Amino acid sequence: MSLRQYEYALAVAEEGSVTAAAELLRVAQPSVSQQIRGLERELGVQLFARTPTGLVPTVVGRAFLREAEIAVRAARRARATARAGADELVGELVVAVQMGFGTRQLPGALGALRRRFPRLEVTVFEEPSHAELERLCRRGVLNLALMAACERSPADAHHLGDEGFVVVLGAGHRLLAADRVELGDLEGEPWVRFDRDSALDAVLLKVLREHGLTPNTVARVSQTATAVRWAAQGLGVTLVPASAVPRGQEHLARPVFPVVSHPVLAVVRHGADPAESALLELLRKEPWAESAFPVPF
Amino acid sequence: MSLRQYEYALAVAEEGSVTAAAELLRVAQPSVSQQIRGLERELGVQLFARTPTGLVPTVVGRAFLREAEIAVRAARRARATARAGADELVGELVVAVQMGFGTRQLPGALGALRRRFPRLEVTVFEEPSHAELERLCRRGVLNLALMAACERSPADAHHLGDEGFVVVLGAGHRLLAADRVELGDLEGEPWVRFDRDSALDAVLLKVLREHGLTPNTVARVSQTATAVRWAAQGLGVTLVPASAVPRGQEHLARPVFPVVSHPVLAVVRHGADPAESALLELLRKEPWAESAFPVPF
DNA sequence: GAGCCGATGAGCCTTCGTCAGTACGAGTAC
DNA sequence: GTACTCGTACTGACGAAGGCTCATCGGCTC
């Protein structure tokens, strides 16, 4: 099953004769003759009827040729795509983002990327678990991972900036009276938390522990949008990245004191593609919050 | 650009490693390694990133692989189609029919063919000119041609039966009073005729000449349906195969005396495909009119 | 250091390509 | 009608290129 045989068969069908096909293909006539014969022998079917004036496709030959043309065209397209990739940025970029981080910056960067390289397609996975994200990274299926910093973050990760966190309170909550919420004031509040192994829950837990609080968990959700909605309806309070609060709900969010923010890292493979580097640069240029504390990583 | 390279690349992408791909493909590992390298060298692009645990597609590699998969699938399908053609009747049958002949029998035969061989597709050309039909036949693009007999019909043509002709008259025409029309009574009538080099016009002219009539031509059309419609509206009289008179217009048609009929031939290629033979047999089984005169061909 | 990965080089063999010559049919001149 | 030419595809022999395998090497992870 060689593509050459298919091309030769298509040329013969197109030209109606082996000689003409050979001329078109810039090879000698016996070569085409042999390939056609070999193909027919391999398939066990006569693809062409021999007439004194040339070769004509048989009934089954026509059906074969229809599929063969699809194959040859796709093969040529594959080739052209790869060749184009040598000059322009072409292909499919696979990005994973840790749920809740970079929700404002990533769309901006991807939009800019698309404007600069229209033939570059991007697929984004949202993944809450740090362990799973790391596994995908190690397996190499990702071109870029956007994740919250943690102890196990690789040394060559790029620090993009920080994600600032805000508390979301139910409508009419007493703490909405102030411009900011002191963490100590949240003692005893019911909490809308995040999935057990998610980075968002890790941040939440770490912040509360540092201030000697033990959260009273009323629900666990996987998405920030859900957490905000549930908190707004008074189920409890929650702590989410500032960029995760949707328009129209800002009046229910308050900055935290002391400021809570978390470093966001981008992990790319070692010998980075031009496409990967381009996305990394665009992510750097997006507006990020200032760091609340020196990055320990 | 070999299909083998594409298959190997797909296997590597699928398995994530050269070794595993080689095992899947039942070849030694260096073979896969060489093919991948050769492909990358030929395309001038790195399709896979080398990691300590295996190979992972690059950005452009993923785009290439998407097309490559289409190519390989189509190639396999082409192969399978041809292989199936060795057992079952599979493929595309190209049939040409001389306009106005076999209009009732051909659909019947094609329906029966489709019921028996559902994977056999049929394309029908309608062609008025005998010369053009013969040209297509000689070039071999046709699997079967259905045509009116003539002096130049090939000797190995199959006589299927005869097409009986009727005269179509305008509503209220005086000759509608009788059950049949004598040819001599048509003296001086205006005629709706057919395209100059069509078989239908040849029949018409031959019949009239044999009875010493010279037609007064008011129009030439290419399709029998048009001729019948125009005749029905009183533009003139016409002579068409009985099967060409649509339902609801039978009252305007009359048999001719002496009976006019014309042999219909099927021409197939020499070493006939099974599919061609099948269609020929089905056409034979369709109901045809009895011959009005001994077939001289 | 053991075990996995891919890359490399040598040798064998298949396959493809070319050139020459053959066979067959169609059309044409005589 | 016969012979000739021109077109077609096929066959066989030979050389070149490429694929496959084996053994081996270098790098990385655990």
- Give the pLDDT confidence of B36-71 residue by residue, as tens digits: 999 998 888 889 988 888 898 888 888 899 899 999
Q: Which residue has the higher pLDDT, B34 or B84?
A: B34
What is the share, in percent, of chain A residues with pLDDT greater than 70?
Answer: 94
Low-confidence residues of chain A: pLDDT under 70:
152, 155, 270-272, 290-297
DSSP structural state of residue B177: G
Best probe of the A interface among B56, B64, B77, B121, by most A CBs < 10 A, is B64
- What is the phi-psi region of residue B158: left when phi exceeds 0, alpha when psi lies from -120 to 50, beta otherwise? beta
Q: Do residue A121 and residue B4 have CB atoms under 8 angstroms apart?
A: no
Q: For A144, name the nearest residue in chain B, comparing CA atoms only.
A: B59
What residues contact residue A174 under an 8 Å CB cut-off, 6+ apart? none
B58 touches strand C (CB under 7 A): no
CATH fold of the domain at B164-261: D-Maltodextrin-Binding Protein; domain 2 (3.40.190)
Residue A129 DSSP label? B
Does the nearest atom of strand C lie within 7 Å of B29's Cβ? yes
Of all residues in chain B, the one with the smallest CA distance to A86 is: B45
Q: Report domain extents, chain B.
A: 3-87, 91-160+263-285, 164-261
B53 touches strand C (CB under 7 A): yes
- CB within 8 Å of A296: residues ≥ 6 apart: none
For domain A163-261, give its CATH number from 3.40.190.10, 3.40.50.300, 3.40.50.11890, 3.40.50.1100.
3.40.190.10
Q: Which residues of B163-200 are buried (b: 16+ CB within 10 A; e: fewer)?
A: bbbbbbbbeebebbeeeebebeebeebbbbbbeeebbb
A193 in Cβ contact with A215 (< 8 Å): yes
Beta strands in B32-127 (DSSP E): 48-51, 54-57, 91-98, 120-127
Number of residues that make up chain A: 297
Pick from B76, B92, B138: which is nearest to A59 by CB? Answer: B92
Q: Enumerate residues 6+ apart whose C-beta is below 8 A from A105.
A: A160, A161, A243, A283, A286, A287, A288
Specify the CATH architecture of the domain A3-87. Orthogonal Bundle (1.10)
- Could you give the C-alpha distances from A216 to A187, A193, B258, in angstroms and in order? 9, 9, 107
B2 CB-to-strand D distance under 7 Å: yes
* B39 CB-to-strand C distance under 7 Å: no
Nucleotides of strand C within 7 Å of the protein's CB atoms? 4-10, 16-21, 24-26
- Å between CA of A272 and C1' of D25: 27
Chain A contact for B66, CB < 8 A?
yes
Of B18, B4, B22, B10, nearest to B66 (Cα)? B10
- Sign of the alpha-carbon torsion through B15, B19, B20, B26: positive
Q: Which residues of B touch A140 (CB under 8 A)?
A: 49, 51, 53-54, 56
Helix, strand, coil percent content, chain B, rounded in steps of 5: 45, 25, 30
The pLDDT assigned to A170 comes to 92
DSSP string, A51-113: ETTEEEE-HHHHHHHHHHHHHHHHHHHHHHHHHHHHHS--EEEEEEEETTSSTTHHHHHHHHH
Q: What are phi and psi of A160, to 5 degrees?
A: -90, -35
Q: What is the pLDDT of residue A290?
A: 63
**Cβ pair A86:B276 closer than 8 A:** no
Which residue type does A39 have? L
Helices A59-87 and B29-43, axial angle in degrees (round to 10): 70
Fold of B91-160+263-285: D-Maltodextrin-Binding Protein; domain 2 (3.40.190)
Q: From the alpha carbon of A25, which nucleotide's C1' atom is closest?
A: C17
B114 confidence band (pLDDT: 50, 70, 90) = confident
Residue B252 has pLDDT above 90, yes or no: yes
Q: Which residues from chain A sit within 8 angstroms of residue B53, using beta carbons?
A: 138-140
For residues B148 and B159, give the distance between their C-alpha atoms in angstroms, rounded to a whole number: 10
Q: What was the pLDDT predicted at B290?
A: 63
Q: How many CB atoms lie within 10 A of CB B237?
A: 23
Question: Do B91-160+263-285 and B3-87 have the same topology in CATH?
Answer: no
CATH 1.10.10.10 correct for A91-160+262-285: no
pLDDT at B245 over 80: yes
Instruction: Quickly give B181 CA vs C26 C1' distance in Å.
Output: 48
